[in-house]
């Protein structure tokens, strides 16, 4: 008999994750605001649902991969939300990038409803999701983490446990996105400095990516920034800005002054204000620095 | 017959580089402000000199590894400087972290004197120098680069050519040091954010260093910052501040606004103002962020 | 017959405003969380109330002077809030420093309830409130502004009309507080620069306050900053921080990158993180700059 | 018999100052790089000179009003500089905006030459210079200040004594220019915030200029910024940038971290990088903030 999972959110990330679950033998009860996105999935192994509640009915696990706190909250506690139908002891595996406060709030509601909430945000672009190369951070009840583990193992190359406080993994995710943004800004500044001093951006990027900064972040994004290659749009500047806001808000909530958060937040706010919100966030950083430098 | 090289500057970096040259069969005419530093070298293979000029006499190559522009300038054009004795067609391999303007100025003086100047700054800490693992960036005349290559190969794991404009390699060095400083700041902010949200700094550092940021910068410095381990002092905050000033000055000279340079410059200026100039620069970043956050 | 006004919020500002209204012949139905604050008022001219709703019963005007958005919202729409009792066509004169969004939201609720909401935030410290020297900014329906005018004239030296969009005056108030904070930061930096260069802070402050910057902000705050006189506490750093957050939030909501908001926000967040939240905000700026400079 | 003064530097400021001295009965030995600027002066009361040295010959006072440190240094110690001819006990009244280090260096050279150097930088735009409304800051030897006083009284509305350390007045001048720049930035941010929230920039500027910020800086510049009126060019952005650099350098030299200096420095560096160096500095701030905000 096929194992069933509720799956909510078929964006660039979600669609690839859903495919991996299907190929591992799961049957998915899928919900997406534009349900025709589900046509990309093998029809034999999915059930299209009209609401998050429907997707959550009768399954041991429901996964959410949504764009922001508000959407997740509505999908969970709204009139047709997950909690309406989630059966006792079922686990909501929450993989979106959201604030730890939202995680705590939702976890409490699940507990009250007799079900479980697991924070499980991921690192990786859509290609990584497709290749099952996501890094998955989890936090929450130990037993719940064990229950969810086989599902998570279908989605990523590693699961990292950040304790039993439910918001912990979300903090790590926000901190990591901040570090990525800071890296984009840093490279845009460094390569523009090199360019204005007569050097070749690509050569400089290649040097750093193959020596001191030989990590994927610097290699992959480094090439895009060096070549001012801002298309196709992989991750929109306005979504990056949303993440910068999460980082800023967390720095406020935990009283942690972070000057670099100011910088990346301003950079992306400027991108949005200039009308680049739907362009790639790399353009927000790269073009932002270039324009300020008059090149 | 032993090959001779002039070697000026026996600091933490220089001393290790000198040893590697000796072990490759070179005889060194060494000069250092405190000449007793030369006692660490095999006496049979060195000649202690009283001035840079003396060290530069009669050799095909003189290497300088000094702390800053002014010291290099004085050692080169001062009354007892290299140029006083450097023979025609000899090459001054200049490996210090200095501004491209100083490089250009000195290169011009060498040309006028009939000798050659090669910009060859390096990336790597003293351990890397000892292990012959430096990354060496060069810029200058192509033929001169060829001449110097055998010497450079004794010192590092790779030589990277940034063109014929003499200041190019210096720009890359300054850009790289800026990126390292930005990385230290970024980690100090991210780990403190994690700490203030109840997470373990070391676990977070370890996670990033083994996944998205799996480059030595993040692994090695990440551990120090996570553990607030500021001793022993490897690189003094005041030297880091000197590098931040070089980056700032270059951003001015080339009209490249760099907000992250502002941040790291302020961080290290604050460290110096607070009296931490002789402590490790990691402390400047790590403790600086911690104190601002009240932890 | 005595004219009656509901008055909610007897903090350092409110208490002085209430006194002025009483001396102009109004009878006040007062509410304050700690109602014993009302003992400072002439008992013959006040009625102590147990809830905001009680204070709002049967009066043509109710004034609120509260610490923040949430408190105002609760006092207005809570179970015992103003709207429970406010009679048709009565005017809620809202004088707290709040976001324009809260103003719009509350205005809409008043309209639905058949009453009126007038945004009327003020500039001025408690002494100015006592001396009837407040500057009052208003925005909202023109007729409502006319109705409220005689009341406002008892409280300030000028009423400034910022149009019919209800949030307008709140925007001006937030912009003004931002400019004050930026001025405090600027002076703290300038005077510390002077001090570290061997000059007398007070002489420098006095010079600027009597020449280029001969405005009260620079004269009064200038003296406090110059003398590092941080007591008595006039306005708490944590309240200043609240205002910095309002400015930051407004810059986000309206997509206006404001680097100086970053600076003052970080300064006060740092003050709060260091445990200075209950000290004067001037200390947040003055001591913050001094400590960073090692003096 | 006419009193003689050497006068060097007939820019927008100097020309007006020279006229005031002439109208007080002084005969001026004038030098300017483009000597035809002197045609604006009454020919009967001037002697046109070909070098600074010539202008300094045989007079008790020589005034310099030049654009920057380097020009002043060259005019003073160059082959045809002031010191070549300045007679014993004559006073060099140095009114340019320069660093205190240059002041100290030049003062020392005057002392060695048997003459005197007085730091006397001024605050005020060309109109203020014409109207004899400059604020003059002085520092240096007390007796020299007394000697120069009658001359200074012809030029400004007040002379402010900042002690005997010769660089003191220069520090005050740099601190003041920093405060003006910070004020321009602050207003540009605040007015743009107001604009993007539907308010009228001019009304907001007028409100602040007539209440909390009723000082000339806010009234005059406030109007220009509010109206985005960037012409005619009164003070070029590149000269403002030079002053920002002086402030930055002084903050470095005295180890005073100043985040607001970072902001105004970046703002003007960006203006210069974007090619606005020859436009008014108000445009650098006003347009800079507007463009970042997409308006």
CB C97 within 8 A of CB C173: yes
In the predicted model, residues of chain A with pLDDT beneath 70 are: 1-2
Paired sense of beta strands B134-138 and B122-123, if any: antiparallel
Report whether pLDDT(D1) > 70.
no
pLDDT of residue D2: 66
Region B125-136: mean pLDDT is: 95
H/E run at residue C17: helix C12-23
Burial C200-232 (b: 16+ CB within 10 A, else e): ebbbbbbbbbebbbebbbbbebbebbbebebee
Report whether pLDDT(C1) > 60.
no
Report whether pLDDT(B61) > 90.
yes
Sequence-distant (6+) residues with CB within 8 A of A134 are: A17, A122, A123, A124, A128, A155, A156, A157
pLDDT of residue B36: 94
pLDDT digits (tens, 9 = 90+) for C182-238: 999 999 999 999 999 999 999 999 999 999 999 999 999 999 999 999 999 989 999
Closest CB from C274, C292, C294 relative to B275 = C294
D221: closest chain C residue by CA: C212
Q: What dotted CATH number matches D3-164?
A: 3.40.50.720
pLDDT of residue B2: 66
D272 touches chain B (CB under 8 A): yes
Joined tokens for residue A259: 């000057």
B232 touches chain A (CB under 8 A): no
Joined tokens for residue A103: 């995680």
The partner residues of A117 in beta bridges, in order of sequence, read A92
Say how far apart CA A176 and CA B207 lie, in whole Å. Answer: 10
Joined tokens for residue D13: 């400021």
Pick the closest to residue C261 from C273, C250, C248 (CA basis).
Answer: C248
Report whether pLDDT(D163) > 80.
yes
pLDDT of residue A2: 66
D275 touches chain B (CB under 8 A): no
Q: In chain D, what are the domain boundaries?
A: 3-164, 171-292
Say how far apart CA C211 and CA C218 lie, in whole Å. Answer: 10
Edge-first strand listing for the sheet containing C116-119: C46-48, C26-31, C3-8, C61-64, C91-94, C116-119
Say how far apart CA B181 and CA C194 lie, in whole Å. Answer: 29
Region D164-169: mean pLDDT is: 97
Q: Regarding the domain delimited by D171-292, which CATH topology (the fold level of the hierarchy) does it fall under? A: 1.10.1040
Joined tokens for residue C158: 């000028």
Say how far apart CA C79 and CA C75 lie, in whole Å. Answer: 9
Question: Catalytic site residue A173?
Answer: yes
CB B167 within 8 A of CB A131: no
pLDDT digits (tens, 9 = 90+) for D226-236: 999 999 998 99
Annotated catalytic residue, options D173, D196, D228, D236: D173
Pick the closest to residue D39 from D64, D19, D59 (CA basis).
Answer: D19
Say how far apart CA B260 and CA B268 lie, in whole Å. Answer: 13
Write down the ipTM of this complex: 0.96
Residues of A in contact with D273 (CB under 8 A): 292-294
C291 touches chain D (CB under 8 A): no
Percent of chain B scored above 90 by pLDDT?
98
Eight-class DSSP state of B41: S
> Residue D41 region, left (φ>0) first, then alpha (ψ -120 to 50), else beta?
beta
Sequence-distant (6+) residues with CB within 8 A of B146 are: none
Question: Does B182 contact A182 at a Cβ distance shorter than 8 Å?
Answer: yes
- Size (chain C), residues: 295
Say how far apart CA D257 and CA B271 lie, in whole Å. Answer: 10
pLDDT of residue D52: 98
pLDDT of residue A234: 87
Say how far apart CA D129 and CA D210 lie, in whole Å. Answer: 25
Interface test with D, best of C211, C221, C268 (most D CBs within 10 A): C211
Helix, strand, coil content of chain C in percent (nearest 5): 55, 15, 30
- Taking one residue from A and the other from C, the number of pairs with CB-CB distance under 8 angstroms is 29
Report whether pLDDT(C2) > 70.
no
Q: Which CATH class is domain A3-165?
A: alpha beta
pLDDT digits (tens, 9 = 90+) for D124-154: 989 999 999 999 999 999 999 999 999 999 9
D294: closest chain A residue by CA: A274
Please report which residue ranges of chain B form alpha helices under DSSP H: 12-23, 52-56, 69-77, 82-85, 100-113, 126-130, 142-153, 168-196, 201-210, 216, 222-226, 237-253, 259-273, 281-292
Paired sense of beta strands D134-138 and C46-48, if any: unpaired
C42 CB neighbour count, 10 Å cutoff = 11
pLDDT digits (tens, 9 = 90+) for C255-267: 999 999 999 999 9
Render chain D in DSSP notation, one character per residue: --EEEEEE--SHHHHHHHHHHHHTTEEEEEE-SSGGGGGGS-GGGEEE-SSHHHHHBT-SEEEE--SSHHHHHHHHHSTTSHHHHBPTT-EEEE-S---HHHHHHHHHHHHHHT-EEEE--EE--HHHHHTT-EEEEEBS-HHHHHHHHHHHHTTEEEEEE--SSTTHHHHHHHHHHHHHHHHHHHHHHHHHHHHHTT--HHHHHHHHHHTTT-SHIIIIIHHHHHTT---S-SSBHHHHHHHHHHHHHHHHHTT---HHHHHHHHHHHHHHHTT-TTSBHHHHHHHHHHHHTT-
Joined tokens for residue B275: 């009296």
Say how far apart CA B219 and CA D16 lie, in whole Å. Answer: 63
Q: Which chains touch A (3 or more CB pairs under 8 A)?
A: B, C, D
- Size (chain B), residues: 295
Closest CB from B256, B270, B273 relative to D273 = B256
pLDDT digits (tens, 9 = 90+) for B223-278: 999 999 999 998 999 999 999 999 999 999 999 999 999 999 999 999 999 999 99
Question: Does D292 contact A270 at a Cβ distance shorter than 8 Å?
Answer: yes
Edge-first strand listing for the sheet containing C122-123: C122-123, C134-138, C156-161
Backbone angles phi, psi at B30, to 5 degrees: -100, 145
Sequence-distant (6+) residues with CB within 8 A of B150 are: none
> What's the N-to-C CA distance of chain B in angstroms?
61
Place of tokens 């945000």: A121
């Amino acid at each position: 008999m096929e194992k069933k999972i509720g799956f909510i959110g078929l964006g660039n990330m979600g669609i690839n994750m859903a495919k991996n679950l299907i190929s591992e033998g799961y049957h998915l009860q899928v919900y997406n605001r534009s349900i025709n996105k589900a046509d990309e999935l093998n029809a034999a192994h999915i059930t299209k649902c009209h609401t998050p509640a429907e997707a959550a009915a009768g399954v041991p696990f429901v996964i959410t991969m949504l764009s922001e706190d508000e959407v997740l909250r509505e999908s969970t506690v709204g009139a047709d939300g997950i909690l309406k139908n989630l059966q006792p002891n079922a686990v909501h595996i929450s993989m979106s990038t959201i604030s730890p406060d939202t995680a705590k709030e939702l976890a409490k509601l699940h507990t009250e409803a007799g079900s479980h909430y697991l924070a499980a945000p991921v690192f990786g672009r859509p290609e990584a999701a497709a290749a099952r190369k996501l890094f998955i951070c989890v936090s929450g009840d130990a037993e719940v983490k064990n229950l969810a583990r086989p599902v998570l193992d279908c989605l990523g190359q590693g699961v990292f446990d950040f304790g039993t406080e439910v918001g912990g993994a979300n903090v790590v995710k926000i901190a990591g996105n901040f570090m990525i943004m800071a890296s984009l800004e840093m490279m845009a500044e460094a390569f523009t400095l090199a360019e204005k001093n007569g050097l070749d951006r690509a050569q400089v990027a290649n040097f750093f990516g193959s020596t001191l900064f030989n990590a994927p972040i610097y290699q992959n994004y480094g090439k895009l920034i060096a070549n001012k290659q801002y298309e196709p749009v992989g991750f929109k500047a306005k979504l990056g800005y949303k993440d910068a806001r999460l980082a800023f808000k967390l720095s406020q909530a935990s009283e942690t002054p972070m000057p670099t958060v100011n910088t990346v937040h301003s950079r992306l706010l400027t991108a949005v204000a200039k009308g680049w919100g739907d362009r790639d966030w790399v353009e927000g950083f790269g073009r932002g620095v270039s324009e300020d430098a008059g090149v």
